[in-house]
Every structure is written in C-alpha cells, then in structure tokens.
Structure 1
Amino acid sequence: MGGQYFGEVLKDTFAKLNPVQMIRNPVMFVVEIGTLVTLIFTIGSVGKPIFGYELLVTIILFFTILFATFAESYAEARGRAQADFLRRTRSSTRAKKLKDDGSWDWVPAERLEKGSRVLVEENDVIPSDGEVLEGVGSVDESAITGESAPVIKAKGDSVTGGTRLLSDHLVVEITTSPGETFLDRMIALVEGASRQKTPNEIALSALLGVLTLIFVLVVVTLVPQASYFGKHATDITTMVALLVCLIPTTIGALLSAIGIAGMNRVAQVDVVAKSGRAVEAAGDIDTIILDKTGTITIGNRMATEFMPIQGVSVEEVAEASLLASLADTTPEGRSVVELAQDVLKVEQLPEADGEPVPFSAHTRMSGVDLNDGRQIRKGAVSAIVEITAPETKEELNKLAEAVAGEGGTPLAVEVDGKALGVIRLKDIVKTGLKERFDDFRKMGIRTVMATGDNHITAAVIAQEAGVDDFIAELKPEDKIEVIKKEQAQGKLVAMTGDGTNDAPALAQADVGLAMNSGTMAAKEAGNMIDLESNPTKLLDVVMVGKQLLITRGALTTFSIANDVAKYFAIIPAMFAAVPELSVLSKLNIMGLKTPHGAILSALIFNALIIPALIPFAIRGVKYRAESADKMLARNIFNWGVLGVIIPFVGIWAIDHVLGLFGLA
C-alpha cells in the first residue's frame, strides 16, 4: 500500500475514535470510556507515586483502541486502492451522445441518463452500462474482468462501462441511471463505504456485548471484595485495566475488518456482490443448483469417436467426416475436423475441392459435393438411413442406440448412398470439476445438476461430473420450483444463470450469481455478478464465503481463549498478596511479581495482539474442505489451544522485560 493510502489509513483511524462512531462497536466503546476514566485519574494523580503507573495504563489503553480502529481503516483502504483505477476511469470518460438527427455531442459519462444513445468508435471507452443497438465490435474487458482476450459484442448484447472498443463502432443505449452503473457498484463494494453488518455479524456483536457486560459485572464485584481487605484495596485504574484485559477486545477490534476483507476477496475473484449479506450467505450454502450446459460441460458437444459399420475402417469414416466438415464452422464441426486430423495423423487440412452443402433443418444433414462426383453427407441417423442401402439400416441404428444409451449424440456419415458409420458427439465435462465437487461433499454441500436433456444423457454427465443428484427434462420455469423445494427443507440454495428466464430463480435463490454477459434482467435479479461470465465461478464464491466464516470463527475462538487465559494469569497475581486469599498464590504459575506488573504486562499483550492478527483478518484464515465436525475440532485445537497458551507465554515475557526497567 502506497504512502497516499497509508496517510488515509491514519486519518480514518483517528476519525473513528469519535464516540459517535465507536458506539457501534460495544466492546471497543467500553475500552474508550475506560481510557477516558483512567485519563481523569491520571491527571488527578500528578505528583503522586502512582502517577507513572496510571499514565502507562492510560497510554496502553489508548493504543489498544487505536490499533482496533487501524484494523478497520486498513481493510477499507485496501478496498479503496483496488477501486482507485476504476474511479479514475469513470470520472475521465466522455461520451458521444447521439442526437435525433444522427449527430453527436461530447458529454461527461456521469451525465448520461437512462435511455440515452451513444456512439462508441474504435479505441473509445464505453461510457456506461448499456445494450448494443447497432454494430458489431471487439471489446477489451480486461479493465473489469482481468481477462486479456477481447469479446465480440453485437446487437442485443450488454456492455459494461469502463471497457474499451477495439474495432469497428457500436451504437449503445444506456440502461442505467448515473450512480447506479456496474462500475459504481463495484467501487462501492471494494471501498466498503456502504457496507452494512450481516445478520451473523450483528448476532456476534450482540454476543460480544453480552460477554462484555458479564465481565463488567465481574470486575465491579471485585471492588467491594478488595475494599473488604483494607490496605489491599484495588484502585479504579487497575479495575479498568483488568476489565479491558478480560473483555473480548481482540475479536471486537477485528470484526469489521474481517467482513470488509471478505467482500474485497470476492472482488479479487472478479465477482461483484451487491451486499455483504450475499458473501456471508455463500459460506452457509447447503445446496448448489448448476446448469449442465456451459457450467458443468464445456457448452458444445464434441466429437470423441468414429464408429464404422462392418466392412468399413475407422480411417474411411474419419476421411469422409473430415471432408464433410471442412466448411462447417460450428463448434461441433470443428471438433469433427480436429478428431479426424488426429485419427488420420495429418497436420495440414486438405483443400475443400467441391461445393459445400450447408445444414438444413428440412434435410437434417450437411456435407459436400466433391468435384470428382462423390457426395458426402453427415447428419441425423434417421435422415441418413432414408438415403442409404436398406441392408445397413439395422447396423447403423444399433450403433446410434449404443451412443445414445451412453448419453451421447450420434451423427451418421454416408458417401454416395453407402453408410460408413457414426460419429459420437458428447458433452465434455470441464476438467477439475469432479475434484471440486468432492470438496463440496466434504463440506456437506449438495450439488444438483439441472438440465433439459433426457434422463439417459443427464445420468451419464452427472456420473462423470460427480454431482450428488440431477434433474432432467427440466423446463426453464421449473428451476424456481426446484429452489423453493430445497428452501422448504430449511436449506440455503445457490445457483447461476444468465438469461431473462433465469431471473425469477436467481431472485429466489439465497445466492444468485448472474453472468456479466447475460441480460440486464438476470443481473438485476442476482445478488452477485460474475465479471468473467464463468458459471463455475460460483464454486470460488462459496469458497470465499466459507473462508470469511471460518476466519471469523477462528479469531473469535482465539479471542475468547485469550480472555480465559488472561483471567487465570492476572487474578492470581493481583490477589496472591492478600493473606486471606493466599491459596491464589498457588495459581500464579508464571510467577508474576506484582499486581501492577501483571496488569501492565497483560495490557501490553492485549494491545499488541490486535495488530499481530490483522494479516489473518485481511488475508483470511486458510480454509480446508472438510466436515463441520472436523472443522470445529481443528478450529478449537489450532486457535483455541493457541489462544490459551500464547497469553501465558506473552504476559510472562513482557513481565520479565518490565522487571528489567523496574516497572514490575
């Protein structure tokens, strides 16, 4: 982080000391009130022997609340650093606003109203979110998505403000009002300026408030007990210091920073969340609904095998398929060419010496009429059967049934009325998904594939991908019913979508991840938007949500364990000198020399542990895919046990250092 942002951090840190802001954090508000109380007593003790001790306590308490506000300010400043480039892009962009007569005027991008039409020419920055009305052009979206490969945009496609047109020209209709653009939302997200506490965060804050109240009562009851023992009475400054040591200041100081950093991590995987609630919900997901096409599979069927009939070689089928597909520019056609090249072991494609025959819905075939008189066709098996010799019909149908029975799609190939065999087309499952679904299963998250394909095809893909369940022959409008059924069982559901017909389901889902390349309706309905338009990004979002929750849980465990350890470290040292409580001396296992030394050591440790844990709050605690029971056990062992041990070691070391200076 540069000097500019560090200066902002310091400025915000001191600004957050305002009691009006601090009262939102009950734990640190108590610390601030305690600091003011000790400051008053310190001023009143000027010239007295206890002045030095009370001054040290007040200074340490001040740095405790300073470190707490620094943690939140640091997390927010990191978000502002991420947003700085986006803000400069937005403020410096000008637009060519079209008039009714076709001419245009330069206007600042922020003055564009919803419904305005703008002309975007080569190398122009698209001024705001909109929809292409005219033209086709190549758009560089790297400023938003981080992907260097340009994207082709044509009529009906949505475009995002801040991206750049690399070729041709577009006429774009602005679809958002000033201040509501996609760029504005992302800036607001990464800056954390409008971040509101999530339900879980509010609940945890309430719990911390209750714990603070309990420790206030504990410390208050110590005052009359100390007075009862006369000369061993404990002063108010010591009581305030003891209170600060015992209340959960560590998690109270880091709670906001954890939430802000979690939202920033979502932005780092190129996803915009409309609220922190969506990020947190992603960490609690029970069921993920995934489309098959484009999410689990690559999105286009690919040729995987040439299957000849009896008396025909694989090479003959491959050669005929290659010639019939040279002019086929569809993904399926290109995959046939690539497979044929591999089978025939040829690197250079042959010349298309003939007249291509494009695919027709009427004939359900395509192919080529070669100059040597041969006619090659490929297409639906039922269509090819009608134009080939009757004796090959049965064998061709058997091959087609075998392919369909395994979830594939058969394409038949023939030359001059002679059937050669079948091309197996198959949905290709994306690599690495099975392992990721295994990880979700360990977390207790159920994955469900939703598809409109027939049951056989769906079953094959589901088994290959490793999902827990699948729903076949699903109509688009049925998705919302699937989500409602899961939610009726008390589960949180996530899904992806990009079309207008996905909007109701995206709105119904607890986490709805809309694609940036999708329709405006889908993006408005979802509570997260994937800038890269990669449906599998939902898996990354869930991982970020899980990491947010596990980070909060780990640091909460550590904080509470700290408080317990400090209680048993300080109280014995404070009252061991009281004859009536001499039994406590046996519990002073660290051998802390004096009550004041014990208090100072604990206060210093309490202040230093906050900045020490800021990196964990910002980066997040490492998350492992495992069951809730294992996660809890690991959390208690790693953070609970350490939370008990570290204070004993730290306070003992600080006490010995203070002893060298005569302060303990």
Structure 2
Amino acid sequence: MDSVKPDSSQSRRPQPSGPRSGRKHTPKVDKRGLYRRAVKEAFVKLNPRVMLKNPVMFVVYVGTIITALLTIEPNLFGPVSGDNVRSFNGLITIILFFTVVFANFAEAVAEGRGKAQADALRSTKSDTTARKLLPDGSIQEVSSTTLHRGDMVQVMAGDIIPADGEVTSGVASVDESAITGESAPVLKEPGSDVASSVTGGTRILSDELTIRITSDPGKGFIDRMISLVEGAERSKTPNEIALTVLLAVLTLVFLFVVATLPTPANYVNSPVSVTLLIALLVALIPTTIGGLLSAIGIAGMDRVAQFNVIATSGRAVEACGDVNTLVLDKTGTITLGNRLAEEFIPVNGHSLQDIARVALAASVFDDTPEGKSIVRLAENLGAKVNFDKSQAEGIEFSAKTRMSGTNLPDGSEVRKGAVGAVKGFVRSRNGRDTPELDTAYERVSHLGGTPLAVALNDEIYGVIYLKDIVKPGIRDRFNQLRRMGVRTIMLTGDNRITASVIAEEAGVDDFIAEATPEDKIEVIQREQAAGKLVAMTGDGTNDAPALAQANVGVAMNTGTQAAKEAANMVDLDSDPTKLIDIVTIGKQLLITRGALTTFSIANDIAKYFAIIPVIFASARLESLNVMNLASTNSAVLSALIYNALIIPALIPLALTGVKFRPLTANQLLQRNILIYGLGGVIAPFIAIKVIDMAIAAVGLA
C-alpha cells in the first residue's frame, strides 16, 4: 500500500540496489569483424540515392566523378596546359574517392555497433510452441508466430513466453535476463500495473501463468527493439536537419566563391583548371562535420542503448540534450523507495498494542512492501489477527480515496492512509479527530517520513511512521543538472511538510505535494507553455498520459504496456534514476555535435587562408605564400589529403562523444571556441605544411 502515491503499483517494482552501469546487456563487439563489415558497407553506400541524403558529401561524390572523367580526358572542358595533368587529376580523384568512403565508413561503424546489439537481441527471439487456450477451455499447441492480440496462452515452468502479454491468472517467477541482463528473477502476477506485464522471449522459471497476448506477430517489444537499435527506423532529428541545411548553405557559399575565382585568377595570369577548382571546393566545404554528422547521431542512440535504454528515435535522444525541466517521482527515484514501518504512534488515549492490533487488521490484505512491513512491526509487538480472513474484505488503495484497509466480518471498517483522508473517513461516521493526531503528523513529517493515520470505524487510533531514505549522492547529481540549466521538480503524494523536508535534503528546485495523476500532466503542460522541454519517468497505466505529454518520456521495462507505448524511451533496468543519465547522454550528443561543427568550420577557415594565397602567389605575388608551400598543386593536394584523413581520425571522438562536463551554454560555447575552434584553425596549418613537405620530397607535385 502506498497511501500517498497516486500509483500504488509503483511500490511493487523491484527496486535497484543502487546506480547501475546499464552496460550488462550490451553485447561484446567483435571489432575486427565490425570494421570489416563497415568497410564493405562504406562501398555499398556509394549508391547515388544514398549519397544524395548528405548534401555536403554528395558534392564531393559529384566532384569525384568529374575529376575521374578529367583523368581519362584532361581536355574535356577545354584545352589544359602543363605536365603530368592526367597524373594530377588521378591523384585528386583517388583522394576525393577516399574522402567519400571515409565518411561512409564513419556512418557504417556507428550503424554496425547497433546491429551487433540487434543480433544479440535477435538470438533471444525464436519460434516456440505455444499452448493456446480456446474458447471451449481446451488447449491447442500452435506456433508462437501465429498468435495475435487478444489470444490466451498458458505457460509453465521452463517455457519461453511466446509473445508480449498481460498475466490474467497465476503467480510465477520469470527470468528476464535475455532482455535486461539482470539475473535476478522477477515475480509476475495479475492485478498489478507493473508485475502483470510480460515480454516475449523471456523464460518462466516456476509455477504457471495464463497470459493474454497484447501484440500481433512482428510487433512485439523485442521486434521493436531490434528495428530501433539497427537504425532501420532512424530519421534525422530537427537539430540534425537544421545543421544539414546550414552545411548545405555553407557549401553553396564556397561554391560561389570557387566559381568566381577563375576571373581574378585569369586577370593576374594565374589560370585555374576545373580539377583545381573542384579540389579547392572540396577542401573548403565543411566535409569533416558533413562526414561525421550521421555517425554522431547514430552513436548517441548507441550510447543510450549501452545504458540498457531503448530509444524509439534519435529525436528522443536529442530532445534529452535540450531538456530544461526534469519531473521525477519521489519514491524509488529520489528516495530508496522501500518505505518501511518504523514506529507506531498511539493517540486518543490508545495504547501501543491497540494501534498495533488495528494497523495489523488494516494491512492483512496489503501485499506491498509497506503493507508487509506494517504487518511485521505489529506482529513483533504481539498483535494477532483475531478474525476470519476468508469472511473479511480487503479494500485496495486508490488515488481517489488515498486509503486502504479491511471490512471485518462483524461489519467494522478498518482504514489506514493519508491523514487528511482518514480524518474525512472518521468525520463521515460522526467521529472526531484529536490535536494529538496533528502533533504526531507534524513530528513524522519533519523527520522526512510518511505519516499514515489508522482508524477503526469512527475513532482514530494513531499514526504509522513510514521511513524513507534519500539516495546517497542524489543531491550532487541535481546540482550538476542545475549547473546545466535543468530545473528539477519532485512529485509526491506525501503531505507538504514531508515533501518539503525531502525536497530540501535532495536539493530539488521545486516540488508538488499530494500529487494526483492529473497533477503530472498539469505540471508538464505548464512548463511546456513556458517554452520548456520536459522529461519524466513512469511505469503505471495512469502515468501513460503524462509520458505521452512529456517531450522525453521514459517508461520502466517492468511497467504496463500502456506506459511503454506512450513513452519514447524504455529503461530495461527499470531504474527511475536512469533519467538523469539519459539527460547527460543527450547533452553529450549536442556537445559532441557542437564541438565537431566548430572544429570543422575552423578547419575550413584555416584551409581557405592556406590555399587561396598560394594560387595567387604564382603570379609574382610570392609574398602571399606565407607558409612557403611548394606549389599550387602541392598545396591543394596537401589540403585534400588532410581533409580526407581528418574524418577517420575523428571517428573515435564522434562515436564515444566529447567528455561531458556540467557547464552552462555560455561556458560550453567558450570552451568549444577555445579548444575546438582554436585547435581547428591551428591543426590544418601544421598538417598541410607537413604533408606538403612530404609531397615535395617524393616529387608528387
């Protein structure tokens, strides 16, 4: 029973013992095999229809074709003078070709890591024989691939669960390690939002279950996971689209610059060939970020997957990086979650044994950790059940009444729950509360605990002190989020005093006490109306509307099918604190993209000032060749070689991401300009000079 939490099923979730690495489920990648497949895929991606999706690399692709034709026929666009023209054109073609291949290779490596995980998931999916329950009660053995939504099946110990479903009867332990990587079995039973959901491909270890299938063939959870981690459903995110448009505009700008270059060059008697113009264009356009942009996005989804979180799209991962507000439940996220009965506080002249006896009667049908802890504490004080349980009626907790309890065989009503709700219950039966109750309520609340009032008919017997503990280190994590500009809001069904104590200890920015399911949607809508992007976690059916409303909704794997379908991420470990890690990964994705974009544009500026002066230096303007490069051809070749090699050199950074630091947007901008901007300007000058010296030494140009 969770009398102050809108979704009492939350307490049934197996709580993680501490922060998890989230990497147990990630398959070990055969790097040698991965790179071999990536090389093959890089050549497959040379299909023009594939290349057209990347405007920057498509320009390089077209340039490669033109220079290849000029290698075959140097005078294709008019007579060209000079020695070794065909050899120079051939060198340019080879370098441009490998520039395209390296860009494709970066994307293929990123996709390959996702496919490795998909292969591991696919190995858990097999065609099994299912025992289908027919309307007449008989059992028919059928293939699991023939099951449809609404079918009823029976599974026994040792069976593989044939498809996603909801438990309708039975209680059994299920091994979900194939999905979560967690070896501990999970108890599944009907009647609970969390514990009734089962996933196809998992194995039942004990007893038997009757399951109603909730997915059609090929549309189960594992099927969706496979398609998502493979990248089959990946579409460009809004930020990625915006950056692609920006890169296309920059490419057009440099195209105009290069197209107008022959006129001043001819004026100073320094004619420029078509091959040289193409090489110059490729050297100046932002090929670095153009070649790595897709890989960065795919790697972001892969990093989320390594934390055992399945994102439905790159848009969801990217949205994490833009999140301004984090909405979190208190129980299980900010606190350890297993609230246990610590003390009985009698009021109204009753003894400790009196409240223990009434609390026991109110909790005998409560199977939640809190309810069981109340039973244990009462029994330790000598209380015993003195009525026939088979003749009594258990009253389940609901968000509306905020109480639970028992209707006894003699007609008496025993209730426990939120103090305000129990007061209302007693008053409705012409009873009265007592000032002692408020004193006990405030005492427990100021301790950061949850006070539950206990009543028998029209009389209040006392308060149960449910103790909860704030997770170690959670305050530091919220401080990190605050430095990134992320506001945290704690939702709890607890009273305002308890909520304020926990909020102060945890370090959240705001809290909402006595929250209902409707409050979750209201707080999200309010933040979104202020222009904020909101993230939240949930697992129950009543969380589904809020998960759908949030920009980033993370559903627990142990949650209901409704919650999983409403969310755009699913945490396989069912660890609510994972949301903080996901936001960090999203921030890292944006930081990485920003850093490499800064580096790429700085590269282009440096290459411009390294090459253009050399072209005009041949027209008796030697003083412009400040880098003392060997020749125009050597300068262009050096720039192109650097341009091609920098892409594979940056693949590890694109895949692992720039190291995350909790900084503000202004601090990140300053850091990017200082490190990647300045580095992007300096690196080309050094590399081009070194390559130019090597080219001159071997006599290539």
* TM range, smaller chain: 0.7 to 0.9
* Alignment partner, residue 56 of structure 2: 27
Q: Deviations over 1:120-156 (max 9, x none)?
A: 2212221211111221111111111121111000124
The reply to whether residue 88 of structure 1 matches residue 123 of structure 2 is: yes
Contact kept? 1:79, 1:191, Cα under 8 Å: yes
Where 1:293 maps in the other structure, the secondary structure is helix
CA distance in structure 2 between the partners assigned to 1:45 and 1:110 by the alignment: 61
Q: Which runs of 5+ in 2 are unaligned?
A: 1-28, 76-81, 396-402, 407-415, 427-433, 455-461
Q: 1:199 aligns with which of 216, 238, 262?
A: 238
The match for 1:652 is: 689
Distance 2:84 2:292 in 1: 36
* CA-to-aligned-CA distance 1:226-281 (integer Å, 9 cap, x gap): 22233x21111111111111000011001111111111111121222222111111
| Alignment partner of 1:213 out of 243, 252, 271 | 252
Are the structure 2 counterparts of residues 332 and 583 from structure 1 closer, same or farther at C-alpha, using a change threshold of 3 Å? same
Match of 1:249 in 2: 287
Structure ranking higher on relative contact order (CA contacts 8 Å, 6+ apart)? 2
Do the aligned partners of residues 16 and 400 (structure 1) sit closer, same or farther apart at CA in structure 2, a change above 3 Å counting? closer
Secondary structure of the corresponding residue to residue 468 of structure 2: strand
Give 1:238's aligned residue.
276
Q: 1:155/1:564 Cα in 2 relative to 1: closer, same or farther (>3 Å)?
A: same
Q: Which residue does 2:309 correspond to in 1? A: 271
2:180 aligned with 1:145: yes
| Aligned pairs (5 A) from 1:312-351 | 331-332=369-370
Cα 1:411–1:529 change in 2 (3 A) is closer
1:134 corresponds to 2:173: no
TM-score by length of 1: 0.85
Query: 2:262 matched to which residue of 1?
Result: 223
Q: Is residue 72 of structure 2 the alignment partner of residue 43 of structure 1?
A: yes
Deviation at 1:71? Answer: 0.9
Q: TM-score, normalised by structure 2?
A: 0.81
Question: Which amino acid in structure 1 is aligned with residue 274 of structure 2?
Answer: I
Once the two structures are overlaid, the 10-residue window that deviates more, 266-275 or 195-204, is 266-275
1:174-214 Cα deviation digits (max 9, x unpaired): 10112221111111111111200011111100000000000
Partner of 1:584: 624
How far apart, CA to CA, are the structure 2 residues paired with 1:594 and 1:355? 98
* Residue of 60, 69, 75 corresponding to 2:104: 69
**Bigger Cα displacement from structure 2, 293-302 vs 493-502:** 293-302
Q: How far is 1:26 from its partner?
A: 0.5
CA distance in 2, matches of 1:112, 1:91: 13
SS at 2:469 equivalent: strand
Match of 1:433 in 2: 474
When the two structures are aligned, how many residues end up with a matched partner?
Answer: 619
In structure 1, C-alpha distance between the alignment counterparts of 2:83 and 2:311, rounded to whole Å: 57
User: Mapping of 1:296-315 within 5 angstroms?
Assistant: 296-302=334-340
Shift in CA distance, 180/412, structure 1 to aligned 2, threshold 3 Å: closer
Matched to 1:9, the amino acid is A
Distance between the aligned counterparts of 1:595 and 1:603, measured in 2? 12
Measured in 2, the distance between the counterparts of 1:301 and 1:459 equals: 17
The equivalent residue for 1:390 is: none
Shift of 1:356: 5.7
- The gaps in structure 1 that reach 5 residues or longer are 310-316, 341-348, 367-378, 387-392, 414-420
Distance (whole Å) between structure 1 residues aligned to residue 377 and residue 672 of structure 2? 50
| Conservation of the 8 A alpha-carbon contact between 2:330 and 2:490 | yes
Shift in Å, 1:164: 1.2
Task: Output aligned runs, 1:94-493, within 5 Å.
Answer: 94-156=129-191, 157-230=196-269, 232-302=270-340, 331-332=369-370, 355=384, 398=439, 401-409=442-450, 424-493=465-534
Partner of 1:373: none
- Partners of 1:396 and 1:201 lie apart in 2 by 58
Contact 2:127 2:145 (C-alpha < 8 Å) held by counterparts: no
Return the offset for 1:583. Answer: 4.5
RMSD value, Cα: 3.6
Corresponding position of 1:371: none
Q: Equivalent residue of 2:679, what SS?
A: helix
For the residues of structure 2 that align with 1:50 and 1:147, how far apart are their CA atoms?
64
Q: Name the CA distance, whole Å, in 2 between partners of 1:6 and 1:426.
A: 53
Contact 1:189 1:263 in 2 (8 A): no
Contact 1:219 1:239 in 2 (8 A): yes
**Aligned-partner SS, 1:123:** coil
CA contact (8 A) 1:90 1:127 kept: no
* Aligned equivalent of 2:413: none
Tell me by how many angstroms 1:334 deviates. Answer: 7.2
- 2:453–2:463 contact (8 Å) kept in structure 1: yes
Paired with 1:531 and 1:139, the residues of 2 have a C-alpha distance of: 15
Equivalent position of 1:573 in the other structure: 614
Change (3 A) 1:334 1:43: same
For the residues of structure 2 that align with 1:279 and 1:396, how far apart are their CA atoms?
48
Query: What is the distance in 2 between the residues matched to 1:108 and 1:470?
Result: 50
